[in-house]
């Protein structure tokens, strides 16, 4: 879908917004391995890659977004969906911005686009999670208006943590905000 069809006026010049397709899966997998600066080594890259299987691009494409540069290279993405179980909620599953594109406002523009989509679908809450050791993500989501939900423990910096949220040893911080 063309940038104008999605109303992407918030993006810097030279960037285009569209919905992803299954054909985008391979380059998303490369981004998930490379954009986080080696965080967690090979195991960390594989964990990120496993979080975005092709099914998201097959079944949640209309609620997800890709940002490309004029030359067609991937610049940013947001994978999100409307909850099938909670008619008031939408969920941001994964967001990435290429390393040389951070702090350019593209991530925030993607979130605002998703918030608008969720509101248009009658959703009043947006949810997401992050890892407790991802302090930049925690700070970013707080700046975006998300609040941390109570967990079953509070870490030494005051962050509420849900132990074993995604399995043994996979603790998470849970966020919610009004759409």
pLDDT tens for each residue of 115-141: 999 999 999 999 999 999 999 999 999
Per-residue pLDDT for 3 more than 90?
no
Rounded-to-integer distance, Cα 109 and Cα 106, Å: 5
Per-residue pLDDT for 6 more than 70?
no
pTM of the model: 0.91
Residue 37 has a pLDDT of 85
For residues 37 and 79, membership in a common domain is answered with yes
For residues 110 and 152, membership in a common domain is answered with no
Please say which residue of 123, 140, 163 terminates a domain.
123
For residues 40 and 105, membership in a common domain is answered with yes
For residues 96 and 169, membership in a common domain is answered with no
Residue 8 has a pLDDT of 47
At residue 36 the predicted structure's pLDDT band, cuts being 50, 70 and 90, is confident
For residues 96 and 144, membership in a common domain is answered with no
Per-residue pLDDT for 103 more than 90?
no
Residue 26 has a pLDDT of 96
Please state, for a pLDDT cut of 70, what percent of the chain lies above it: 95
For residues 131 and 46, membership in a common domain is answered with no
Tokens of 96: 């990435």
At residue 1 the predicted structure's pLDDT band, cuts being 50, 70 and 90, is very low
Three-state DSSP class for residue 145: coil
Per-residue pLDDT for 38 more than 90?
no
pLDDT tens digits, one per residue of 138-159: 999 999 999 999 999 999 999 9
Phi-psi category of 112—alpha, beta or left, where left has phi over 0 and alpha has psi -120 to 50?
alpha
Range of 59's domain?
Answer: 1-123
CATH of the domain at 101: 3.40.630.30
Per-residue pLDDT for 67 more than 90?
yes
For residues 59 and 133, membership in a common domain is answered with no
At residue 9 the predicted structure's pLDDT band, cuts being 50, 70 and 90, is low
For residues 117 and 157, membership in a common domain is answered with no
Chain centroid to Cα 104, Å, comes to 16
Tokens of 92: 């941001």
The alpha carbon dihedral of 155, 178, 59, 27 has a sign of: negative
Residue 105 has a pLDDT of 93
């Amino acid at each position: 879908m063309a940038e104008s069809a999605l109303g992407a006026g918030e993006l810097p010049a030279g960037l285009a917004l569209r919905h992803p397709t299954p054909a985008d899966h391979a380059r998303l997998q490369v981004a998930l391995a490379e954009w986080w600066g080696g965080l967690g080594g090979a195991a960390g890259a594989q964990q990120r890659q496993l979080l975005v299987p092709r099914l998201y691009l097959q079944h949640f494409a209309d609620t997800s977004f890709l940002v490309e540069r004029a030359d067609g290279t991937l610049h940013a993405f947001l994978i999100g969906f409307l909850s099938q179980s909670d008619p008031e909620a939408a969920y941001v599953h994964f967001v990435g911005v290429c390393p040389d594109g951070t702090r350019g406002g593209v991530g925030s523009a993607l979130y605002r686009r998703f918030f608008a989509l969720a509101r248009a679908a009658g959703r009043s809450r947006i949810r997401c999670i992050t890892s407790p050791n991802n302090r930049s993500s925690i700070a970013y989501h707080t700046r975006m208006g998300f609040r941390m939900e109570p967990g079953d423990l509070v870490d030494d910096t005051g962050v509420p943590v849900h132990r074993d949220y995604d399995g043994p040893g996979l603790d998470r911080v849970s966020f919610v905000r009004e759409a």
